[in-house]
Structures are given as structure tokens and as C-alpha cells.
Amino acid sequence: MRQSESSDLTLRPLAGALGAEIQGIDLSAPRGSTAFAPIREAFLRYGVIFFRDQSLSRPAQLALAAHFGKPELHPIANGMEDYPEIIRVLKPEGEEAFFGTSWHTDNSFFEAPSSTTILYGETVPPCGGDTVFASMELAYQTLSEPIKALIDPLRAVHTAADAYDPRTTGEAKYRGETAISYTFSDAIYERVEHPVVRTHPETGRKALYVNAMFTDHIVGLNRHESDALLAMLYAHATRQELTCRFRWEPGSIAIWDNRCVQHYAINDYAEFERVMYRVTIQGTPPV
């Protein structure tokens, strides 16, 4: 562990690639931007930061989220009635998990994708249900120079159709029959273009920006060329040495930077209930 030079926070890096656990702070307590600065610095440095033994009310989670920007409303997954910016991610006992259970960057199908996600764990299984994170900055850095030269000018189409189209993913969630309910929206079929390699608006670092859940194809390539290149990039970006893994406990919080991090929610706890609360923050169009 190491002590932050600018505060009493204790940082414990979780892996060599990304991720740090922060101790010595109560995130339910109000604090100004100056007092919050060390947390934001750690967020930008490590890509994903974790806290344990927290107790967040819904208003407290929104107050925490506001330090990272403006909480947004999801156009498809329904938020809570009293707090529409918060999605209650319920996985009932005896059911398979289905929310976020493949590699992705949150809401990359938005024209201005979510910059940040704040996820609070209220009820978690005694084992299983870990979340794995991968550094897209390291994914880009560890590509060969010829591949970098190939993908730097490319753009890719992102869409939510594969993840949310009721014709292929089922209509029950749109009828309110599932633990997380959805609203049918034109946003399911919208298609947006983003650069394959984006530059972080705050750090200036480059990161790979394609993901298996929402990226459909690379513009200008034949389908078989696009599929082959994307498959290679997906496999490269999720190698174990580019990842960290977080084991949830009640009262845990994870805050990650969607501009440079992907994540994967592991579905290995069907016999247990899990209740999480998710807030995402408005971002800007990738460049």
C-alpha cells in the first residue's frame, strides 16, 4: 500500500495493468471538489478505483456521481421510479445473470458515450459475481506499430441492436416480466460511428475503443475483413495481463472510466441474489 501525497487516503494497486483500492474515506460524507481531487486523480491514473465498507443511500450515490459529471438517463434500461438516473441491477436467486455479462464499454452506442460508471454493491453472493476490467490504453500500447498505423485512422459503427433487440434477446424484459425492465426505444437500432482509437479528453492518452457487445463493424472494410480485425483486437484487448479482477463485498463501490476501460460481469452465481445500483455519467463524442 502507499499513502497519497495529497491526502490521508491509502491506495492499494490491484494489478499491474489497472485498478486501485482506496481506503480511509467515507464516500457518503459530503465533500467539496478540492477534497475530492485525490480521488479523481486516482481515477484518471488507475482507470478503475474501488472502495469497501461503504453505506450509500440513493441520494448519496447521486451526490458522489456528480463529482464526475452529470448523471444520465438510460434510453432503454429503466431507472428507479424515484431516482431515474439509477438502475437497480437485480439478479434474483436461482436465475442466470444477463446484465453486462460480456466484454463491453458502457453505452458506446451513444453518440456521446458514458464517460464514467459508479456501481454500488448492496447485496452480493458469498462467492462468484466478480467483475473483470481491462485497460484499453495498454491494449493500444501493446499493439505492434504496423497494426497501430492500420487502425489509427479507422472508424467503427456501434449499435445496441445485438444486446437489446427484442426479436433476438426476448420480449419479456419489455413487458416488465424480468428483474430489470426495459423500454422499447429507437435507440436500440441507432448506429453511430466512433474512432477505433480514441484520445482521452483529460489525460491525452490513446486507447483502443471497440468492444464485442456494441461494435458492429469497421467502416470501409469488407465484412470478413472487419470481423477478422475486430476478433483480433478483442482477443488482444482482454488478455489476462491487461486486466484486474474485483471481488465484491456488501458495501463495495467500483468507479471506472469507460473512455479507457472495458469490463465483464462474470455469471457464476445463479443460486444467489445480487443487488447493485448503477449510475453512468454523460460523456463527450470520442475523438
d(CA 18, CA 261): 9
Of 67, 74, 88, 106, catalytic: 106
Q: 186 an active-site residue? A: no
Q: 104 an active-site residue? A: yes
Q: Which amino acid is at 226?
A: S
C-alpha cell at 133: 476490467
Of 74, 158, 198, 278, catalytic: 278
Query: Backbone phi, then psi, for 242, in 5-degree steps?
Result: -100, 10
Q: 45 an active-site residue? A: no
Of 67, 104, 158, 198, catalytic: 104
The full DSSP string for the chain is -EE-TTSS-EEEE-SSSS-EEEES--TTS---HHHHHHHHHHHHHHSEEEE-S----HHHHHHHHTTTS-B---SSB---SS-TT-EEEEE-TTS---SS-SSB-TTTTSSS---EEEEEEEE--SS---EEEEEHHHHHHTS-HHHHHHHTT-EEEEESHHHH-HHHH-SGGGGT-SSS-B---GGGT-EEEEESEEE-TTT--EEE---TTTEEEETTS-HHHHHHHHHHHHHHHT-GGGEEEE---TTEEEEEETTTEEEEE----TTS-EEEEEEEE------
Q: 223 an active-site residue? A: no
Burial class of 67 by CB neighbour count within 10 A (0 to 12, 13 to 18, 19+):
buried
Of 74, 194, 259, 263, catalytic: 263
- Give the residue numbers marked as catalytic: 104, 106, 263, 278
